[in-house]
Amino acid sequence: MGKKKPDNKADFLPDIDRSEPLALLEPLVLGQEVPTRPELQDMALEIAVKSAALKSSIPSAIVGALADLVRVMNCYYSNLIEGHDTHPYDIERAQKKDYSNDPRKRNLQLEAEAHIAVQKWIDESPGLDISDAVVIREIHRRFCELLPDALLVVEDPKSGETVQVIPGEFRRRDVIVGRHVPVSRGAVPRFMDRFHSAYSGLNRIERVIATPAAHHRLLFIHPFLDGNGRVARLMSYGQLLTAADTSGIWSIARGLARNVDQYKEHLANCDQQQRNDLDGRGNLSQRALLEFTQFFLRICIDQIEYMQQVIEPSGLHKRVLNWADAERAKGELLPGAPKLLEAVLYRGLIPRSEIPALLGVVDRQARRVVSALLERGVLFSAGDREPVCLSFPVQAASSWLPGLFPPK
């Protein structure tokens, strides 16, 4: 059955373009004339170098598993910024199709699933031109198509009218966002074309530097009736995925959520017009954009350093083995489980044929140990005869990776 559609006169409004000049978006990038330009280049290079070092410090066998956990983390923090608090434990339950009986909580679980599905699509789509309006609309479409009906309507604050959000469709009504008046509905495609021309074709360092600007300018255009914040953060995630080669193992969303008041203040400041003759040559404040860019890039560096700290091999090994010993003492793990986890931590992948000898047990007992760890989600295997490697379930992440998200 199709989604019920409320009375919505906006669907029949012409796409009026008030002919706003594209110069309203300027400056779209921070040019070479910006005095602190060398500092921005150094920060972008630091992000790229530290991101590469983080990736190289992790056994390749567990990069994918860590990226799975980061999707949950990213989803949690991005939705939290929007005031939707769905704890990673509940998100993990949703991924297992274990939904809450409370309709509101269930809807938020479905929203989380949608966010994770879109990020996974971005992760698995190399070569995406993330600034292309077609791709941005696809992000919105994929996210909104998975949402329940209750999250696909917005209310006009003046008239009280409920308006349907159409997945992947640019808004067909004019809006006001706080004190900001985005461009007219008919101008959105034209402004998105300008957006694409400004942010495509940049080299990797320039793309890192331009990511905060693109983040704000998309919100300034406000192309969709709802969901712009999530789309902007997913777009920024995708931009950094390729420009900084993040491999999906760190994300800025956690840092933005932990500094949410500053984040929103910077976005509001970037809406302001040029303050004086020393504030750049464009319509919008260059100083505000520079301050947001510095804030955004510092958050990136902070999040990489945080992941470096919690993934540091000796510390991670100690925390995983302490957890395994504690679970074994409670009778939650079988004998041999801590030893197998220790071997996986050091070797990355363990062929199943080697596990009986490794544990000093017969095949049947080895299979029981492996099955129990697979069921707990702390091991992963692509098939019954495939090697096993470490996984990062939410239930263990608070012990293994402290600070990743709040305890339940």
Span 148-207, pLDDT tens digits:
999 999 987 777 788 999 999 999 999 999 899 999 999 999 999 999 999 999 999 999
- Identify the CA nearest to 236 among candidates 252, 255, 254, 260: 252
pLDDT digits (tens, 9 = 90+) for 306-326: 999 999 888 999 999 999 999
Q: Are residues 93 and 212 in the same domain?
A: yes
- Whether pLDDT at 9 is above 50: no
Spatial distance between the Cα atoms of 284 and 273, rounded to a whole number of angstroms? 4
Confirm whether 23 is domain-assigned.
no
Q: Are residues 122 and 233 in the same domain?
A: yes
Please give the order of strands across the beta sheet that includes 379-381. Answer: 349-350, 388-390, 379-381
Structure letter (DSSP) for residue 284: B
Q: Are residues 133 and 150 in the same domain?
A: yes
pLDDT for the residue 14: 62
Spatial distance between the Cα atoms of 121 and 138, rounded to a whole number of angstroms? 10
pLDDT digits (tens, 9 = 90+) for 339-384: 999 999 888 899 999 999 999 999 999 999 999 999 999 999 999 9
Task: Show Cβ contacts of residue 33 under 8 Å, excluding neighbours closer than 6 positions.
Answer: none
pLDDT for the residue 398: 84
Q: Are residues 381 and 252 in the same domain?
A: no
Q: Are residues 320 and 347 in the same domain?
A: yes
Global confidence as pTM: 0.92
- Whether pLDDT at 401 is above 70: yes
- Whether pLDDT at 1 is above 50: no
SS3 category, 26: coil
Confirm whether 291 is domain-assigned.
yes
26 or 60: which leads in pLDDT: 26
pLDDT for the residue 313: 85
Domain at 59, CATH number: 1.10.3290.10
2 band by pLDDT with thresholds 50, 70 and 90: very low
11 band by pLDDT with thresholds 50, 70 and 90: very low
To the nearest whole number, what is the mean pLDDT of the chain?
Answer: 92
Q: Are residues 208 and 120 in the same domain?
A: yes
Contact 79, 112 (CB under 8 A): yes
Cα angle 251-84-183, degrees, rounded to a multiple of 5: 80
Range of the domain at 75: 9-16+36-311
- Whether pLDDT at 4 is above 60: no
pLDDT digits (tens, 9 = 90+) for 117-160: 999 999 999 889 999 999 999 999 999 999 999 999 998 777 77
Number of domains in the chain: 2
Confirm whether 231 is domain-assigned.
yes
The widest CA-to-CA distance across the chain, in whole angstroms, is: 79
13 band by pLDDT with thresholds 50, 70 and 90: low
Q: Are residues 346 and 207 in the same domain?
A: no
Domain boundary among 244, 279, 311: 311
